[in-house]
């Protein structure tokens, strides 16, 4: 794939000289920006009506629907390959699960030990938990590792694509957690944790040609954030604190 002399974004043929790589990359990011902002606008409206849970559910649902529709409209018959809509090799699943736990548990434990927050999430934890473990991994992976990374791979090579998508993924998680902590160390840890998740999930998506391992990795990172959060903060944080929905140790 990386050695093909041409790439496509929609119906536009893009040559891989330096200028075209830059142009193609900005087009890919532009597609992502439109979906991201549109989804957050929808979530903001839903949040005004139904609160935090409605906002989160609306954002993730919008990520899912808009990412799939965009891929189908722009890439037509190629959208399955772009998004990673195929089953991964069975033998790879155990490796994905093992590596995800090995990398996520120490990462989220360190974040929850060092991070600090002074505010609570005002929402039903019973609703936030399945949203954090199921809906968010699906919605965010479709947008970031499916559409964004898939588009970037048609512009630039493997690791630059993974790093660009991972940095964007990490940056957009900062505002969500800034509401619960204004401490610089906490923000840095959230960024670092999201970046690590993005790199691992991106690697799995590309190496298996499937989005499923990336979704599994994302869910495991959030689960680890909950587990290590309970281990480290339960005695001093009340129910409703951010760690119980996968943060600050979860993403």
CB 28 within 8 A of CB 152: yes
**Closest C-alpha to 206, from 136, 169, 156, 250:** 156
pTM: 0.87
- Residue the block writes with tokens 């993005």: 198
d(CA 36, CA 41): 9
CA 75 to chain CA centroid, nearest Å: 22
Tens of pLDDT along the chain (251 residues) come to 444 434 444 434 345 688 889 999 999 999 999 999 999 999 999 999 988 889 999 999 999 999 999 999 999 999 999 999 999 999 999 999 999 999 999 998 888 888 766 555 556 677 888 999 999 999 999 999 999 999 999 999 999 999 999 999 999 988 876 655 566 777 888 899 999 999 999 999 999 999 999 999 999 999 999 898 888 765 434 333 444 444 444 45
d(CA 192, CA 146): 21
CB 38 within 8 A of CB 66: yes
pLDDT of the residue at 232: 78
State how far the alpha carbon of 125 is from the alpha carbons of 19, 106, 178, 225, 239, in Å.
Answer: 48, 24, 20, 14, 8
CB 171 within 8 A of CB 191: yes
pLDDT of the residue at 119: 57
d(CA 149, CA 158): 9
Tokens of 125: 């934890």
13 forms bridges with which residues in the sheet? 8
User: Residue 217, Cβ neighbours under 10 Å: how many?
Assistant: 28
Query: How would you class 193 by CB atoms within 10 Å of its CB: exposed for 0-12, middle for 13-18, buried for 19 or more?
Result: buried
Tokens of 78: 């190629």
**Closest C-alpha to 139, from 67, 46, 53:** 67
State how far the alpha carbon of 70 is from the alpha carbons of 21, 25, 83, 212, in Å.
Answer: 21, 16, 11, 19
- Structural domain boundaries in the chain: 6-245
Query: How would you class 175 by CB atoms within 10 Å of its CB: exposed for 0-12, middle for 13-18, buried for 19 or more?
Result: exposed
Within 8 A by CB and 6+ apart from 16, the residues are: 5, 6, 7
């Amino acid at each position: 794939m990386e050695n093909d002399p041409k790439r496509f974004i929609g119906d536009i043929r893009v040559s891989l000289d330096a200028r075209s790589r830059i142009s193609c990359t900005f087009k890919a990011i532009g597609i992502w920006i439109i979906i991201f902002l549109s989804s957050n606008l929808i979530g903001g409206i839903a949040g005004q009506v139904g609160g935090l849970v409605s906002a989160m559910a609306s954002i993730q649902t919008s990520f899912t629907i808009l990412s799939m529709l965009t891929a189908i409209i722009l890439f037509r018959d190629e959208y399955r390959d772009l998004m990673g809509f195929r089953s991964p090799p069975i033998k790879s699943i155990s490796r994905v699960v093992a590596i995800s736990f090995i990398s996520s548990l120490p990462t989220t434990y360190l974040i929850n030990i060092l991070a600090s927050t002074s505010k609570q999430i005002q929402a039903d934890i019973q609703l936030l938990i399945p949203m954090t473990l199921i809906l968010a991994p699906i919605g965010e992976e479709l947008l970031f590792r499916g559409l964004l990374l898939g588009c970037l791979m048609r512009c630039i090579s493997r690791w630059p694509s993974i790093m660009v998508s991972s940095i964007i993924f990490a940056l957009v998680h900062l505002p969500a957690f800034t509401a619960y902590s204004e401490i610089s160390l906490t923000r840095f840890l959230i960024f670092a944790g999201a970046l690590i998740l993005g790199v691992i999930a991106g690697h799995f998506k590309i190496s298996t040609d499937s989005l499923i391992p990336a979704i599994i990795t994302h869910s495991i990172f959030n689960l680890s954030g909950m587990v290590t959060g309970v281990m480290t903060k339960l005695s001093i944080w009340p129910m409703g604190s951010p760690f119980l929905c996968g943060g600050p140790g979860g993403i």
